[in-house]
Amino acid sequence: MLRPVLVFAAVVSVGGFAVSCKEKPGAEMAEVTLEPEGTVVVEEETPEAEAPAFDSDAPKGIISELGEFGSEDPVERQDLPGRGILNFTITDRNQTFMPGEHWEQYNFPFEARRSGRYRVRLTYMLKSSGMGVQLKLGDQRVKKQLKHTGDGQAVMYLGEVNIAQAGSQFMALYTPSAMGWSKFFLHEIALVPTQETDSDAEVVAEENGAVHLLAKQATTWSEHMRYEPKPEKDCLGFWTEKDDFAEWEFKVEKAGKYEVIVHQGCGAGGGSQVAVELAGQQLEFKVEDTGGFQKWKPVTVGQVEIDSAGVYRLAVKPKTKEGAAIMDVRKVVLVPVS
């Protein structure tokens, strides 16, 4: 059972804006306003157990690169986009932080603008030798053993969580008792967009060399655009903001020229200009009116050249927006050119 316990000040930063929540009468979740800071009503949630000791089976996050000396801690990419990352920081530690007999709790209720899958990134300082933490979002839990940092900060990915639908969310971080503000200092929790399906599943070329980049395999760097999982859709939709974009990571075994085909749909009008970026090359196309957002048409955008086998990223980035929405995308296909 949830019960109101206190009011605290926290800032959730979305796309460069500070998002604050303000109390409303009754038990409704607060509305979101874009302003420097504000207050929200929070509700206490009790973890199923004490803040955990190290769990070798706990999610470890995406291994994008190996850390020093071959550790499995992910190394954050240098060109990490900032669009769509949700950043949570503390503005008043005395009101945000809740000490307890067995654990200490940091509460972050917030309003999500869209559904999506995220990696949980923790920025912290820890003066003890090590400490287990647990983060809860809804009924999801991720656990990790934090490492000693001394007087410096460290960044660690705890695992992945899924926001099933837009609206009111409650997130809390639990740590062992008698640690906060003496041995452990929380600087930021960030929810970083990640691939909508299994992020450890590698996207590779088929036997004929073609690469199919499906909507569900995209990372949506967005504040509104999202993956729509319903079978009749299975696409990237709600593409109403020009700065939202999609990105795929994939592996090719052979160098060569590839034809780029975007399977897109659009209602009455169309006409938005969209860029496809890959390996330092950029192609552009105009979105076509297909008679409906889920009526798909393969649009050949042009050709790109891949110099060598390896892992690449392809991004679809709108340049202009015409009408209420830019388009929906079912998939992007790269076809080898003979």
Say if 189 falls within a structural domain: yes
CATH code of residue 73: 2.60.120.260
Q: Give the end of a domain, one of 136, 161, 193.
A: 193
The whole-number pLDDT of residue 201 equals: 74
pLDDT digits (tens, 9 = 90+) for 70-110: 455 667 889 999 999 999 999 877 778 899 889 999 999 99
Same domain, 148 and 181: yes
pLDDT digits (tens, 9 = 90+) for 111-141: 999 999 999 999 999 999 999 999 999 999 9
Torsion, Cα of 60, 64, 69, 70 (10° steps): 70
> Do 168 and 264 lie in a common domain?
no
Count Cα atoms within 13 angstroms, Cβ side, for 241.
16
Pair (182, 221) in one structural domain: no
Question: What do you get for the CA distance between the two ends of the chain, in Å?
Answer: 63
Range of the structural domain that residue 151 is part of: 3-193
Please say which residue of 193, 221, 238 terminates a domain.
193
pLDDT, tens digit, 9 for 90 and up, residues 229-268? 999 999 999 999 999 999 999 999 999 999 999 999 999 8
What pLDDT is stored for residue 13 in this prediction? 54
Does some domain include residue 171?
yes
Same domain, 228 and 117: no
What percent of the chain has pLDDT above 70? 77
Q: What is the mean pLDDT of the chain?
A: 83
Tens digits of residue pLDDT in 294-320: 999 999 999 999 999 999 999 999 999
Question: With contact defined as beta carbons under 8 Å apart, do 166 and 85 qualify?
Answer: no
Query: What integer pLDDT is reported at residue 23 of this predicted model?
Result: 35
Q: Are residues 187 and 272 in the same domain?
A: no
Instruction: Name the domain count of the chain.
Output: 2
